[in-house]
Amino acid sequence: MNITANSVWDNCLAFIKDNIQPQAFKTWFEPIKPIKLTENALSIQVPSKFFYEWLEEHYIKLLKVALTKELGPNAKLVYIIKMENTYGNKEPFTEKIPSSNRVGMVPQELDVPIKSKNPELKNPFVIPGIRNIKIESQLNPNYNFENFLEGDSNRLARSAGMAVANKPGGTSFNPLLVFGGVGLGKTHLAHAIGVEIKDKYPERTVLYISAEKFTQQYIESVKKNTRNDFIHFYQLIDVLIIDDVQFLSGKSGTQDVFFHIFNHLHQNGKQVILTSDKAPVDMQDIEQRLLSRFKWGLSAELQSPDYETRVSILKNKIYRDGVEMPEPIIDYIAKNIKTNIRELEGAIISLIAQSSFNKKEVTLELAQQVVEKFVKNTKREVSIDYIQKVVSDYFEMDVATLQSKTRKRHIVQARQLAMFFAKKYTKASLASIGSQIGKRDHATVLHACKTVDNLAETDKQFRKYIDDLSKKFS
C-alpha cells in the first residue's frame, strides 16, 4: 500500500483518539491537516502558533509514540503554522524556529503569511510575519526615571521598577504590578521602566499599551476574524506594559485572551508590567485565574506623596521650566493639593502661565485664586454618570442594577446615595437628577436626599458608606 501523508496521519489519529478525551481530540486534532511526507518527516498544518505550542506542551509524547509507530524511530514532525483568514497578500513567510529539544522532533517550520506593504497598517498592529518589522514601543521619553522623583510614597514601586529595568524577565518581579489612585504616577513609572529597558537593551521589543486600547484591538480582531494574529503579535513582545488593567473588569473575552498571552510571555521569561488603580484583592470582575497571575510577581503601591515629596516635585517642575517661584507660594500649593500629583502639576503650570501671560507677579493671592479655581474645576468635573459609576462600583453592582425598579434594600440605598451625591456635587436640578438616575421624578430625589441625611445620623454603617464615597468625589 502506498504510504502518504494522509494515510500516516489517519493512523496516528486513530491511535491518538483512543488515548485522549473526545473533546480534546476534537479541539486539538481535528483541525490539523497533514500536508506532506518526505522520508520520515511528516508535515502537519496547525491554525496558529498558540495551537502549535499547546500541542508541544500537552501532546508531544502522544504524538511521538503515534508517529514512531508509523514511521520508525527516526520519525520527525514538522509544524506548518497557517493562519486562517489572512489578508490579500498571500506571500508566505517562512521561519525556522529552534526545535524543542525535549523530544528531538525537528525541525519545525513556521509558515505565516504576512500582510506587509500595507501602508495603513501601523503598529502596534502590524501583524505576525514580523521579526523584520519593527514594533514601535509607544513609549513617551518624557516619562523617565530621572524626572520621577523618589519619596517614601513611591520608594518600593520605583526601586522595583528599576530592578525590572535592569533585568527584564530576570527578577522575581514578574509581573510587576504598580497600583495606586489617579494622578499618582502609575503611567509615568510604567513608561520610565520601558524607556530604561529600551536604553539598556535596544534590541528588545518593548510595547506600552493601555488596557483600553488593548481591548479595542482585541474586539476589532474578533470582528475581522484575526484573533490568532492578535495573539501572535502580542506573543512576540519581550516586555509588555499594560496600563490601567482595571479596565478589563467585566470584559471576559479580553481577559481570556490576555490570560493566554500572559502565560506565553511568562513561560518564556518575558517581562510583564501592569498598572491598576486598585490592589489585586480589590479588583472586581476580573477572573480569579488572572488575579492569581497578577499576584505571582510583586504588587507595589504608589501612595499619595507626603509634603516633602510634593515640594520637591513642584521645585523640579519649576526648575525644568526655567522659572522662579517664591518659596511661600510653593509651600502654599504643596499644602493645599495633597492627593494627586497631576493636579499639583496642573496648579503650578497654570500659575506660571497666568503670571507670564498677564505679566503679573506671582503673589500668594494669585496662588490662592489658582488653587481655588483648580480645586473647584476638578470638582465640577464630577458628573452624574460618574457618580452612578462610582456608587455602583462601591456596592459591586452595575449601573443598570442601581437604576432598576427593584425595591431590594441595598439597591435602593445605593440609588439614594447616588442621588444624594448628585445633588451635592453637581448643579443639576432634582428633576434632572431623577431623570438621569433611573427615570425618577424630583420628589423621589428629594426623598432620597432626606433619607440619606437621616440615615447618616442614625446608622453607623451607612455613615461609613457616605464617608467612603465622599472621599472618592473630593
Which is closer to ligand ADP, CB of 348 or CB of 384? 348
- The listed partner (Mg ion, ligand ADP, none) that binds 400, CB under 5 to 8 Å by sort, is none
The reply on whether position 271 binds Mg ion by CB under 5 A is no
Per DSSP, helices labelled H in 72-210 are 155-166, 186-200
Which is closer to Mg ion, CB of 112 or CB of 178? 178
- Comparing C-alpha atoms, which of 423, 415, 428 is closest to residue 388? 415
For 270-310, give the DSSP string: -EEEEEESS-GGG--S--HHHHHHHTTSEEEEPPPP-HHHH
Cell of 439: 427615570
Which is closer to ligand ADP, CB of 40 or CB of 340? 340
Answer yes or no: is 187 a known binding residue. Answer: yes
Q: Specify the stretch interacting with ligand ADP by CB under 6 A; choose among 36-44, 341-349, 372-380, 398-406.
A: 341-349
Opening angle at CA 155, ends 151 and 160, nearest 5:
155
Nearest-10 crossing angle of helices 227-235, 252-267: 40
User: Where is 43: in which H helix or E strand?
Assistant: strand 41-46
Dihedral angle of Cα 277, 258, 139, 125, to the nearest 10 degrees: -140
- The residues with which 94 forms a beta bridge, in sequence order, are 111
The reply on whether position 187 binds Mg ion by CB under 5 A is yes
Task: Give the shortest CB-22-to-ligand ADP separation in angstroms.
Answer: 48
> How many Å apart are CA 438 and CA 376, to the nearest integer?
28
Q: Please report the sign of the dihedral spanned by the C-alpha atoms of residue 179, residue 185, residue 191, residue 196.
A: negative
Which is closer to ligand ADP, CB of 208 or CB of 230? 208
Total residues interacting with Mg ion, rule: CB under 5 A:
2
Cell of 288: 480569579
Sheet holding 271-276, edge to edge: 206-210, 239-243, 271-276, 176-179, 298-301
The reply on whether position 210 binds ligand ADP by CB under 6 A is no
Answer yes or no: is 183 a known binding residue. Answer: yes
> C-alpha distances in angstroms, 179 versus 77, 256, 302, 312, 352?
46, 22, 6, 22, 31
Cell of 448: 432620597
The reply on whether position 194 binds ligand ADP by CB under 6 A is no
The reply on whether position 187 binds ligand ADP by CB under 6 A is yes
> How many Å apart are CA 257 and CA 50, to the nearest integer?
11
- Comparing C-alpha atoms, which of 70, 19, 61, 82 is closest to residue 40? 70
- The listed partner (Mg ion, ligand ADP, none) that binds 235, CB under 5 to 8 Å by sort, is none
- The residues with which 337 forms a beta bridge, in sequence order, are none
Answer yes or no: is 69 a known binding residue. Answer: no
The reply on whether position 313 binds ligand ADP by CB under 6 A is yes
> How many Å apart are CA 137 and CA 15, to the nearest integer?
47
Give the chain's radius of gyration (CA, Å): 29
- The listed partner (ligand ADP, Mg ion, none) that binds 248, CB under 5 to 8 Å by sort, is none
- The residues with which 275 forms a beta bridge, in sequence order, are 178
Answer yes or no: is 269 a known binding residue. Answer: no
Which is closer to ligand ADP, CB of 82 or CB of 186? 186
Interface residue with ligand ADP among 168, 185, 297, 434 (CB under 6 A) is 185
Which is closer to ligand ADP, CB of 149 or CB of 387? 149
Which is closer to Mg ion, CB of 158 or CB of 186? 186
List of residues 6+ apart from 321 with CB closer than 8 A: 352
Which is closer to ligand ADP, CB of 3 or CB of 182? 182
Cell of 245: 488593567
Interface residue with ligand ADP among 209, 261, 341, 371 (CB under 6 A) is 341
The reply on whether position 301 binds ligand ADP by CB under 6 A is no
Per-residue contact string for residues 123-162; x = within reach of ligand ADP by CB under 6 A: ------------------------xxx----x--------
- The listed partner (ligand ADP, Mg ion, none) that binds 313, CB under 5 to 8 Å by sort, is ligand ADP
Per-residue contact string for residues 342-381; x = within reach of ligand ADP by CB under 6 A: x--x------------------------------------
Q: Specify the stretch interacting with ligand ADP by CB under 6 A; choose among 110-118, 175-183, 363-371, 445-453.
A: 175-183
Q: Which residue is nearest to ligand ADP (CB)?
A: 185
- The listed partner (ligand ADP, Mg ion, none) that binds 161, CB under 5 to 8 Å by sort, is none
Applying CB under 5 A, which residues contact Mg ion?
186-187
Applying CB under 6 A, which residues contact ligand ADP?
147-149, 154, 180, 182-188, 313, 341-342, 345
> Binding site for ATP: residue ranges?
183, 185-187
> Binding site: residue ranges?
183, 185-187
